[in-house]
Every structure is written in C-alpha cells, then in structure tokens.
Amino acid sequence: MRSSLVISLVCSVLVNSLPVEDWSDLDYPNIYVEPQGDAPSESRIIGGSEATPNSHPYQVALFIQFPQGRSFCGGSIISENYILTAAHCMDK
C-alpha cells in the first residue's frame, strides 16, 4: 500500500514537471463548415450549447473517403504531426 502511494506521488510529480504545450502557434487551416441541418440547433442539443468556431482549437473533424463510402470522425491534435482518433475511423 505504501509503495503504491509513493509510486503515485512520484508519477504525479513527474507529470506536473512536464512543459505545457503551446497550441497557439500551430499552423493549421481554419476551415469551418456551416451546419446543413434544417432543424434549429436548439432542438437537437440537449443540456449543452453550440460551439463557436475556433473555441476548441485542439479538436478536429475528419472527413474520410473510403471505397465503401464516407466516414466522419472527431479527433484531438496531440502534436504538430499527429491526430488522435478512434481506431474504427482509419482504414488500416
């Protein structure tokens, strides 16, 4: 029990000592597509609010064309070269 507490404390200190990533200077395209639905967003969103463009700059929308059809997935920017998304969003 005591060793797991020490390990947790050491891990917390190590994680907190990592530098904070600065997302403000990333060079990504500013693409915003207006929603095409005919129902007002207030009737489709329950318990939330509509996000404004650029309010979450670390999130991305992935529109992927596969031979068997199209796919839409979300993802998070984790570095300049990588996006984290669900495995089923990728072909391989």
- Map tokens 């199209």 to a residue: 70
Give the integer Cα–Cα distance in Å for 58 and 60: 7
Taken in order 68, 35, 78, 27, is the CA torsion positive or negative? positive
CATH architecture of residue range(s) 23-89: Beta Barrel (2.40)
Say what the pLDDT of residue 51 is. 80
Give the CA distances from residue 29 to residues 26, 54, 61, in Å, rounded to whole numbers and listed in that order.
Answer: 10, 11, 12
Cα 88–28–18 angle (5° rounding)?
80
pLDDT means per 10 residues, the chain with 92 residues, are 80 74 61 61 70 86 77 88 86 66
Say what the pLDDT of residue 84 is. 93
Domain ranges of the chain: 23-89
- Give the predicted TM-score (pTM) of the model: 0.43
Give the integer Cα–Cα distance in Å for 37 and 50: 14
